[in-house]
């Protein structure tokens, strides 16, 4: 797959580099206390590697593997002070055959502010985004999204999953063509069936996110925390084209909740 080759040409046009973006600044308040950062909580069997030896397979490893399968070789992990066990474990990314770099965040008023910390490093690239405390199938989810993005004029493509608890997630209203009409945040009642947890987006959305954060930063400390879904909805209202595509017929598992963690450990116990 050529989407991550910055100097490759298709139809005479240069393809943009694809960079993974992994926000890992959350404090796991729903699960506190944990013995480690939730992103590196072991949920799989140990792996044997000639260089790294025997190690447990941790939550965020599954996300990095899926990015790497899509041809992505570089990712930025955004950390908050005190979560040093994440770079201590992931190191340079060799366990996922990737190059990892770490960005340190001071204060954050929600995931959009965390993601914007990488603006200077990804502003001209296609971004592949995923939450490091969520596990999902299939393995080729990012392959599908990047293929769609290369064929689409949309500034962002959302990967959709069936939602088990719509009142706790971002629900996506989309048409037959895939164009997203609305992101509905944690509705009390809805006829919608799918939520999103992964995405790819172009520099157009990266710039919109950056401008949104800049415009709201001054009031952020005294207003409710903003989600990425809210920024996407604002982009839609501003006229940006966002598309969505179902990538799985199974819900994702959020290990940031006790129920999700128990289910993930049980599901991935076999490797």
CATH number, position 215: 3.90.550.10
Tokens 């009031």 appear where?
A: 219
The two counts, helices (H) then strands (E), for the chain are 8, 15
99 vs 91: CA distance, rounded Å: 9
Structure confidence at residue 270 as a pLDDT band (50, 70, 90): low
Q: Report if residue 236 sits inside a domain.
A: yes
Summary mean pLDDT of the chain: 87
Q: How many domains does the chain have?
A: 1
Dihedral over Cα of 123, 124, 126, 128: its sign: negative
Tell which residue, 112, 158, 135, 114, has the closest CA to residue 62: 135
Tell which residue, 156, 150, 256, 172, has the closest CA to residue 209: 156
Q: Report if residue 255 sits inside a domain.
A: yes
* H/E run at residue 112: helix 111-116
From residue 253, how far is each of 92, 214, 256, 257 by CA, in Å?
26, 32, 9, 9
Residue 209: give the domain boundaries. 9-268
Residue 135 scores a pLDDT above 70 = yes
Q: pTM for this structure?
A: 0.88
**pLDDT tens column, 19-69:** 999 999 876 555 557 677 889 888 876 554 566 555 678 999 999 999 999
Q: Report if residue 65 sits inside a domain.
A: yes
Q: Report if residue 2 sits inside a domain.
A: no
CB 2 within 8 A of CB 70: no
């Amino acid at each position: 797959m050529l989407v991550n080759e910055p100097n490759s040409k298709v139809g005479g046009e240069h393809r943009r580099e694809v960079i993974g973006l992994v926000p890992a600044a959350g404090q796991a308040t729903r699960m506190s206390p944990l013995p480690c950062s939730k992103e590196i909580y072991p949920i799989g069997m140990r792996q044997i590697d000639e260089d790294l030896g025997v190690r447990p397979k941790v939550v965020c490893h599954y996300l990095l593997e899926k990015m790497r399968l899509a041809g992505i070789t570089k990712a930025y992990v955004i950390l908050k002070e005190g979560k040093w066990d994440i770079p201590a474990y992931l190191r340079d990314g060799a366990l996922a055959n990737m190059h990892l770099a770490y960005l340190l965040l001071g204060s954050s008023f929600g995931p959009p502010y965390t993601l914007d910390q990488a603006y200077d490093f990804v502003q001209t690239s296609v971004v592949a985004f995923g939450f490091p405390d969520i596990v999902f199938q299939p393995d080729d989810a990012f392959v599908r999204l990047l293929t769609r993005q290369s064929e689409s004029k949309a500034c962002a493509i959302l990967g959709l999953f069936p939602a088990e608890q719509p009142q706790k997630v971002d629900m996506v209203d989309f048409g037959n063509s895939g164009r997203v009409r609305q992101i509905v945040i944690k509705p009390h009642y809805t006829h919608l069936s799918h939520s999103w947890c992964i995405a790819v987006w172009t520099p157009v959305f990266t710039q919109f996110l950056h401008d949104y954060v800049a415009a709201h930063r001054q009031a952020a400390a005294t207003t409710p925390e903003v989600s990425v879904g809210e920024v996407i909805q604002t982009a839609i209202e501003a006229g940006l084209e966002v598309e969505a595509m179902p990538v799985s017929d199974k819900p994702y598992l959020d290990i940031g909740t006790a129920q999700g963690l128990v289910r993930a450990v049980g599901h991935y116990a076999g490797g």
